[in-house]
Structure 1
Amino acid sequence: MSTPKKIAFIGLGVMGGPMASHLAKAGHQVTVFNRTPAKASQWVLENPDHTSASTPAEAAAKAEIVFICVGKDEDVREVVTGQQGILTSLQAGSLIVDHTTASASLAKEMAAACQKQQINFLDAPVSGGEQGAINGQLTIMVGGDASAYERAEPIMQLFAKAVTYMGEAGAGQMTKMVNQICIGGLVQALAEGLNFAEKAGLDQQKVIDVISLGAAGSWQMNNRHKTMIADEYEHGFAVDWMRKDFAICLDQARALDAQLPVTALVDQFYAEVQQQGGGRWDTSSLLRRMRAFKPQA
């Protein structure tokens, strides 16, 4: 490993907590901040040679690199440019890496705000879910200054299986939008296929065993079919978060004059899942929606 760095990590949710732990275990000195202090305290108990801070500004004061993994655009804006935000204390020449899935316009806004203080900002959303974060197997797509990417890439590799530079500010977020667009269609297709197999009286597991070896195979099929067949959804990536991501995708599509008919339809289906009380269910709960469907007489 290169010389250990002073790192701040903002946001210790199901993704951020494990990501910060990978940095700590690799020998970097990590200071964490979380909006819920109890989570930061618990993280420090699990990583006793590291510390927590009471504000993003305090966490970033001595950092060379600040990583962010929060919920949405307004959360990023608050922790970066708010009254107690990172930019009130971070030194010129430092770097911010934002792993939040947010809009491309926010990435460009934050990059411009940072540039005024001679700080680089990378938008670096991730894919791979909670297990990918725990196992250090995330896929990261990055936008921003190329030289800043070269500085950050070796450190991001500590919790990733693939880190790819996509272009200027916002390119990482645009790429993540493509990722979510593709996932939505895949999960709906998997739900339809399993529902069809059930209606046809087929052994759903045997069906998956054979078709997963052919052209229909996918990560979603390999990793979600068992819990879908068992009607278990108290895990994984929540419907509420997917709808947040879809809103970003659909807004960007309107700006680009790009058609997203399948994404728009699946977003409506997720709205129905939310109405069933499934906002925190995994995105594969599209199958539960289909099982609950009652055709009109």
Structure 2
Amino acid sequence: MSYRATERPRIGWIGAGRMGFQLAARLLAAGHDVAVYNRTRAKAEPLVERGASIVDTPADLADRDVVFVMVSASADLAAVTTGPDGLLTADAAPGLIIDSSTVSTEASVQARAAATERGADFLAAPVSGNPKVVAAGKLTLAVSGPRESFDAVRPLLELLGRGVTYVGEGEVARLVKIAHNVFLGVVTQSLAEITVLAEKGGVSREAFLEFLNSSVLGSVFSRYKTPALVNLDFAPTFTMPLLRKDFDLGLGAARELEAPMPIASATAQLVAEAIGAGSRENDFAELILEQARRSGLELKPENAKIDDGLEA
């Protein structure tokens, strides 16, 4: 183990997109020294006002104690770790790399091997949430890798959200996150189906979802998605193409592990259908529009004032 816990580790952060920006901001708010790299520098610069420093390449973060990575895809993880001017190409190497990207197990294995070769510990730590969930302090993380490293860095991880779960060695956190996102899609499709059914029978979406959310079947998620389903506000938190990527990863794992997933397979086809119909930029809750179309129902915003259940 090359990472040794300190009260104030020097932190590097790679990836200042919507999620990465908010999470880095939480570490800064807690008083940590955070240096940030983002491919588009301008997106990271507002963090300077919160106390961050900005670097020009991932390699510039190699002397940090802990480096978080949150990028969009497997190829991006490879690029920022072992690509030109990557984090693991400098003379030094960080004590610990924590990767919170949603990537394939294969990409994670390769990044872990590259880190180990340079003497850096590596934790896979994919997250569940979006920027609003982060702001409300309700982000959750699944973490896998060396238990010693997890125990050492846990206080830092707990600054990011309310739930930090160690799930095992190696890359198993990747499987946990993919399974989570497959369930996300399946639950949302099911929620769309029953909501459209109720509306076609004469019940408003607001009334039906208020009932559901008050029952034992209601959840933080169903309440959080209720404003989108009722008011048809599809400002993106997670897009349909990103959901399709996770279904592809999940069904690939299912084939490899010989674990049939018939409901997930059917939902994946409906997600593909929605993308084919043009749903690419908006939130994946647009699944309700496709469900309504198949049901011969034209949905209109109900313009109701609804609490999404999240409070900062």
* Residues 8, 31 of structure 1: 8 Å contact kept: yes
* Residues 9, 68 of structure 1: 8 Å contact kept: yes
Instruction: Return the offset for 1:149.
Output: 0.8
Aligned counterpart, 1:21: 25
1:184 aligns to what SS in structure 2?
helix
Instruction: Return the offset for 1:294.
Output: 6.5
**Per-residue CA shift, 1:186-235, capped at 9, x if unaligned?**
10110001100110011322222222222321233211122212222123
Query: Which of 24, 30, 35 is the matching residue for 1:31?
Result: 35
Output the amino acid matched with 1:169: G
Aligned counterpart, 1:67: 68
- Deviation larger for 150-159 or 9-18: 150-159
Aligned counterpart, 2:103: 102
2:158 aligns to what SS in structure 1?
helix
* Residues 19, 136 of structure 1: 8 Å contact kept: no
**Per-residue CA shift, 1:62-116, capped at 9, x if unaligned?**
2100001110111111111112111112735600000011112222222122111
Aligned counterpart, 1:291: 292
RMSD after superposition: 1.8
Aligned counterpart, 2:196: 195
Output the amino acid matched with 1:135: A
Output the amino acid matched with 1:34: N
**Per-residue CA shift, 1:150-191, capped at 9, x if unaligned?**
122111111110101111111111111221122121101100
Q: Residues 2 and 113 from structure 1, CA distance in 2 versus in 1: closer, same or farther, beyond 3 angstroms?
A: closer
Query: Which of 9, 32, 53 is the matching residue for 2:13?
Result: 9
TM-score by length of structure 1 reads: 0.93
CA distance in 2, matches of 1:147, 1:104: 21
The aligned runs of 1:246-261 (5 Å cut-off) are 246-261=247-262
Output the amino acid matched with 2:282: W
**Per-residue CA shift, 1:16-70, capped at 9, x if unaligned?**
00000111111111110111111022322x32x3211111111x13210000111
CA distance in 2, matches of 1:62, 1:229: 49
CA distance in 2, matches of 1:66, 1:14: 18
Unaligned runs of 5+ in 2: 297-312
**Per-residue CA shift, 1:246-286, capped at 9, x if unaligned?**
11111111111111222222122122222232212212111
- Deviation larger for 9-18 or 207-216: 207-216
- Deviation larger for 15-24 or 268-277: 268-277
Aligned counterpart, 2:308: none
CA distance in 1, matches of 2:91, 2:104: 23
* Residues 186, 220 of structure 1: 8 Å contact kept: no
Between the aligned residues of both structures, percent identity stands at: 31
Instruction: Flag as ranges the 4+ runs of structure 1 deviating above 6 A.
Output: none
Aligned counterpart, 2:230: 229
Aligned residues: 292
Q: Residues 103 and 161 from structure 1, CA distance in 2 versus in 1: closer, same or farther, beyond 3 angstroms?
A: same
Output the amino acid matched with 2:54: S
* Residues 143, 172 of structure 1: 8 Å contact kept: yes
Aligned counterpart, 1:57: 59
* Residues 68, 96 of structure 1: 8 Å contact kept: yes
CA distance in 2, matches of 1:179, 1:88: 33
Output the amino acid matched with 1:52: I
1:96 aligns to what SS in structure 2?
strand
Output the amino acid matched with 1:212: N
- Indicate whether 1:117 and 2:118 are aligned: yes
CA distance in 1, matches of 2:254, 2:270: 19
* Residues 37, 54 of structure 2: 8 Å contact kept: yes
1:212 aligns to what SS in structure 2?
helix
